[in-house]
Amino acid sequence: MNSTISYLSWSGTTGIVGTTEEYLAVTGYEINQGTFFTEGDVENMSNVVVLGDTVVEDYFGKMNPIGETIKIEGKSFIVVGTVKSVGTSMMGADPDNAVYIPITTAQHRIYGADTINSVSAKVVSEDLVDDAVEEAEEILRIQHSILPGESNDFSVNTNTQILEMASEISSILTVTLGGIAAISLIVGGIGIMNIMFVSVTERTKEIGIRKAVGAKNRDIMIQFLTEGTVLSLLGGIIGLGLAYFLTWVLRDMMTSIITITPIILAISVSTAIGLIFGIFPAMRAARLNPIDALRYE
């Protein structure tokens, strides 16, 4: 749960994880300084706390927090350890911006509740995942007094299921964003085509003069295709600049890196849009009759 923690004059809202001494063994997290709390701390409802990496940085900076006292919801806790940086989880949670206390302490000394939100378990072998899920369901159905034929009032999820769910969400987002990008490209291409048509109309006499002095249809067409390509290429470069700026602004909220592949793809697509949507205006300019073009006012 989220609660207020404070140290000296600093305070803020942080995730509070009430758990057991086996938390590190199940999650795979590692201690950075000090130790994790013990089974005795859980049995005795001790006021001890282990800090996530972000909490250490925000509240203590370069100081060693071990042995210091922080307050959680106004109650004093002694820092016994810190956890190495984990990074954002696949579901968007931030284990680094959290503190860990004995589950009994959380239940009886802070929140006044003897229930739990979730149970995390680690299977001894990957081949036994399905058996472990069945066993967990059987145990929970007995503990929850669920009769045969009745639906579960809980759910058991594996990392594989969570990954599949995340993959489905990612696929939906990819299709949605791809559709938006396609529409944007079409709209942008139509805009370039309209600009080129206007340019051809305004420069009709110039086209007539060029043809009169020997310019061929191919020369006129290449000229306007080049202009359309440069126009769309400049738009692509501006878009890359905005993407880099947003990546820099959001660097503390999410991990995002611009690599060479999307840069090449963006430049290629913007160039292709200029070529495709510039063909019709360029063909119209190339087919102008030089005599009619010279008379145009």
Average pLDDT over residues 124-129: 83
Q: Does 103 lie in the same domain as 13?
A: yes
Q: Does 130 lie in the same domain as 98?
A: no
Domain interval for residue 87: 2-111
Considering the chain, what percentage of its residues have pLDDT values greater than 70? 95
Confidence at residue 253, expressed as pLDDT on a 0 to 100 scale: 65
pLDDT above 70: residue 40: yes
Considering the chain, what percentage of its residues have pLDDT values greater than 90? 25
Q: Does 169 lie in the same domain as 138?
A: no
- Is 117 within the bounds of a domain? no
Q: Does 130 lie in the same domain as 165?
A: no
Q: Does 173 lie in the same domain as 273?
A: yes
Q: Does 136 lie in the same domain as 83?
A: no
Predicted TM-score of the model (pTM):
0.56
CA distance 78 to 81: 9
Q: Does 209 lie in the same domain as 183?
A: yes
pLDDT band at residue 92 using 50, 70 and 90 as cut-offs:
low
Q: Which residues contact 102 (CB under 8 A, 6 or more apart)?
A: 18, 19, 20, 21, 37, 41, 42, 45, 46, 48
Q: Does 273 lie in the same domain as 179?
A: yes
- Is 116 within the bounds of a domain? no
pLDDT tens digits for range 254-272: 666 777 888 888 888 888 8
Give me the number of domains the chain comprises: 3
